[in-house]
Amino acid sequence: MIYPLYKIVETSFYKASFLNPTARVFVGFDNYRWLLNFKVFNPKYSYFVTALGKSLIWVAGSVLLKVIIGMAGALLLNSRFLVGRKVYRALVIVPWAIPWAMSSMMWAWTLNSQFGVVNSIMMKLNLIEKPITFLSDPTMAFVTTMVVDAWVGLPFMIIMFLSGLQSIPDTLYEAAIIDGANEVTSFFKITLPLMKPVILTVSLLSLVWTFNSFDIIWILTRGGPLRATETLPIAIYNTSFRLIRFGGIGKASAMTVVQVLVVTLISVFYIRTLEKGEIR
């Protein structure tokens, strides 16, 4: 793993292409300059900055969805008012087991504007009059891929939060009720503070996974329509493998270096929180 990593950094200083990776020229920081200056589809920001920006918004949205719905789901499945908790808990895991590529294909069909059940259900409930084109409208596609990615990560979130919730002793809640606290206060005063380490670790893990997410966007939209969903991983792939004449691996490597730096930064926080949890 170290060797490929070193290779990435090394290649990012060369001008090279897949057609002939051995014939390369040292270009110093040219590839990094290219990252900042190459404007093609967007007059204001460079190709790379656009992709990075999209990635950040996409990741933030997706992780936020995962954490919020995941927390709500975990609270729900942990509540003693819910009949059949065990059944629900078992069901929640199932989507996790489906390979991402397959679930993305399933989603592509489910969201199909003419024949998918999502549109069908909404039309039958008279929520919409015309089918929504989930994947061919740029903004819609961006949001849709985000939601599908959240769907993929949700079971993991729910299970993790659930195991965190189960480790909180009931006596704390009972004491809170005696002291006259209602459920909202006990959530903010007991659940949230005690769950903080779990939420932190799981969110950081999810941030990295989401930031690296490729399969889902690739299968649903290939970065389209009009490059609306071209996040950093998709841009890296496109630069290195699809637009060979235009890009070349040197440029893609420079992009990857940024990707690695972001992931490393999150990892540092992640390892710190893990260590803190152990010392306690």
Residues between 175 and 194 with contacts to other proteins, criterion CB under 8 A: none
Minimum CB separation from other proteins for residue 247, in Å?
Answer: 11
Cα separation, 190 vs 171, whole angstroms? 11
Crossing angle for the helix pair 249-279 and 47-78, to the nearest 10 degrees: 30
Minimum CB separation from other proteins for residue 193, in Å?
Answer: 19
- Beta bridge pairs of residue 94: none
Q: 170 or 278: whose CB is closer to other proteins?
A: 278
- Beta bridge pairs of residue 14: 26
Q: Which of residues 64-123 bind other proteins (CB under 8 A)?
A: 69, 73, 76-77, 79, 81-83, 88, 91-103, 105-107, 109-110, 114-121, 123
Among 65, 153, 218, 223, binds other proteins (CB under 8 A): 218
Q: 148 or 228: whose CB is closer to other proteins?
A: 148
Q: Which among 1-9, 28-36, 172-180, 188-196 is the span making contact with other proteins, rule CB under 8 A?
A: 1-9
Minimum CB separation from other proteins for residue 192, in Å?
Answer: 19
Q: Which of residues 141-160 bind other proteins (CB under 8 A)?
A: 151, 154-155, 159-160
Q: Which of residues 29-48 bind other proteins (CB under 8 A)?
A: none
Minimum CB separation from other proteins for residue 138, in Å?
Answer: 22
Q: Quick check: 172 binds other proteins (CB under 8 A)?
A: no
Contact 27, 265 (CB under 8 A): no
Enumerate the H helices of the chain as residue ranges.
Answer: 2-11, 30-37, 47-78, 85-97, 100-110, 117-124, 138-166, 170-178, 183-186, 192-211, 215-220, 232-237, 249-279
- How many residues touch other proteins under the rule CB under 8 A: the total is 84
Q: Quick check: 4 binds other proteins (CB under 8 A)?
A: yes
Cα separation, 15 vs 30, whole angstroms? 9
Minimum CB separation from other proteins for residue 141, in Å?
Answer: 17
Q: 43 or 95: whose CB is closer to other proteins?
A: 95
Q: Quick check: 275 binds other proteins (CB under 8 A)?
A: yes
Q: Which among 15-23, 28-36, 46-54, 132-140 is the span making contact with other proteins, rule CB under 8 A?
A: 15-23
| Beta-carbon contacts of residue 261 (< 8 Å; ≥ 6 apart) | none
Query: In angstroms, what CA-CA distances link 52 with 37, 75, 187, 212, 266?
Result: 14, 34, 36, 12, 16
* Nearest by Cα to 31 from 11, 2, 6, 46: 11
Minimum CB separation from other proteins for residue 43, in Å?
Answer: 28
Minimum CB separation from other proteins for residue 246, in Å?
Answer: 15
Cα separation, 212 vs 223, whole angstroms? 14
